Structure 1
């Protein structure tokens, strides 16, 4: 089922629902790691499960002769296979992240064909982050520099337009395409208005839903939705939430994801004695955020689990 259908069903049934995002396990672990994370969450009947994609990183290996060899390593492989396993095991829609980095257009098309064969109906299209050795994002040769370019290729496949324009009687795909939205703007955008115009371009190209970056102040989300609607973005906008669970996240999350913590939350967190107390504060804050969003008519909330389900389970018990 498509994400848009899940949202419409929740609205019609007047029963809010949720989705979660997980990370592929690091290389060397098996699929049971994923199932152990998801088993407690699936009991609450998620609408869908997102699986992130992690591009390769470059590492340098020193040889006995003193020379350095650069080697590409993907620490979290398996996104496509994990999505297939989730759908087979749980009968829940799985959504792979599709990114620009690490793929050229041919690679992308082949991956999309495989996803289509697997019966995966939904995608979340992202540019992706630069590798650690890059100061800015670098596209692959004959790849995509922007998420909008990647989205356009997928939209073309939905029209039956492949890279080889000599194909005859080519089949159309039917992907429901999602994109990311940033209530506090993407950190590379000059300002929020320019970021919103770029988001509208992606919707105009065929994006059917938006999932936001994590935020901790619901007013930021409501203001973001209002601004989107004023410039003609009418697709569903799904709020993304992440409970803060450790003292290190108090500074790491704002630094990594370029988000602000409200004064009330920050004041409580910095006074916390240990991680246990931080987790309690963060969990309760996310529960209250979720309740307010639902009271204001939001039909679906997306939770970033970081592949740890215990806190999100507590949130769901307090909300759903």
Structure 2
């Protein structure tokens, strides 16, 4: 089995305790030499300043390539591009360009006055600046706002045509889900890399709730397995095995890159990477 290239997603801290968790996560995973790491926005763009600070510090202190999430929520075009220019000013030129979820309390996304109506407008503007490498989201299962799976492929094609250079998928739990999507994208003429998004299961209860909100299918066999593992207090062992097997099947199917949604809990992601043959760089293990 070939050793994959890897990348990680972190989220910015909103408390002192969460700050310790973020920096411990970066410390544990940086030695695995990720191709890049990404830092999310909170729901409705609520962590804008925290995201900027985390991006800048990770880039400076760990010398990692950082992709900053940027959304269209609750900001004008000028405000969003000012944020993007701020990233460029500190040497961060990778952006994950997203429409973003509806703000808390809202039923659906609504563009701000003078704001971007959707991710394609944001991508086009970032691309026109000539300063950024633009990554986007992709959905191997229908997005909750999408009419069907074909519409998601068409929308991804439009995002790539607008200037995006690669896509990261929503998480999924069966390799055929990704392979079917990859084949559909290929038929649609999408040639940009599509990186599978991998969610190590750190909390089965929390994951079930999250999956329901974003349209991810949870196979019956997986629910049954975790029900038994919770009873036997063996969830960590099962989670490592399930995630490693999914990644191995993807690699066997030709996947060369994997993007892990760490949830700022590094141990399971680290263990899966080790099982896949991704070894730490000792020179990065002592970075404070």
Give the TM-score of the pair, scaled to structure 1: 0.81
Partner of 1:53: 41
Any idea what SS the aligned residue of 2:114 has? coil
Whichever of the two has the greater Rg, that structure is: 1
Equivalent of residue 186 in structure 1, options 128, 131, 143: 143
Query: Which structure has the higher relative contact order (CA within 8 Å, separation 6+)?
Result: 2
Distance 1:117 1:218, change over 3 A: same
Distance 1:250 1:115, change over 3 A: closer
Distance 1:275 1:106, change over 3 A: farther
Any idea what SS the aligned residue of 1:140 has? coil
Q: CA deviation at 1:56?
A: 5.0
Deviations 1:241-294 (A, max 9, x none): 112222313521321221112233222112233494233222211101111112
Q: Which runs of 5+ in 2 are unaligned?
A: 278-288
Partner of 1:148: 120
Superposed CA RMSD in Å reads: 1.9
Partner of 1:224: 181
CA distance in 1, matches of 2:231, 2:202: 10
Instruction: Indicate whether 1:100 and 2:60 are aligned.
Output: no
Any idea what SS the aligned residue of 1:25 has? coil
Partner of 1:88: 60
Partner of 1:126: 98
- Which residues in structure 2 correspond to 1:256-295 (within 5 Å)? 256-274=213-231, 276-295=233-252
Any idea what SS the aligned residue of 2:234 has? helix
CA distance in 2, matches of 1:119, 1:250: 34
Q: CA deviation at 1:33?
A: 3.9
CA distance in 1, matches of 2:250, 2:173: 12
Equivalent of residue 25 in structure 1, options 13, 29, 36: 13
Partner of 2:255: 298
Partner of 1:16: 4
CA distance in 2, matches of 1:30, 1:236: 32
Indicate if the aligned counterparts of 1:19 and 1:49 stay in contact, CA closer than 8 A.
Answer: yes
Distance 1:216 1:56, change over 3 A: closer
Partner of 1:203: 160
CA distance in 2, matches of 1:298, 1:231: 19
CA distance in 1, matches of 2:197, 2:236: 18
CA distance in 2, matches of 1:286, 1:179: 23
Q: CA deviation at 1:318?
A: 1.0
Partner of 1:234: 191
Indicate if the aligned counterparts of 1:245 and 1:283 stay in contact, CA closer than 8 A.
Answer: no
Indicate if the aligned counterparts of 2:12 and 2:50 stay in contact, CA closer than 8 A.
Answer: yes
- Which residues in structure 2 correspond to 1:30-45 (within 5 Å)? 32-45=20-33
Give the TM-score of the pair, scaled to structure 2: 0.90
The runs of 4+ residues in structure 1 deviating greater than 6 Å are none
Partner of 1:115: 87
CA distance in 1, matches of 2:158, 2:212: 28
Q: Which runs of 5+ in 1 are unaligned?
A: 1-13, 58-73, 159-172
Distance 1:46 1:237, change over 3 A: same
Q: Name whichever structure is richer in helix by fraction.
A: 2
Indicate if the aligned counterparts of 1:246 and 1:275 stay in contact, CA closer than 8 A.
Answer: no
Q: CA deviation at 1:43?
A: 1.7
CA distance in 2, matches of 1:81, 1:275: 42
- Please, which moves more after superposition, 178-187 or 251-260? 251-260
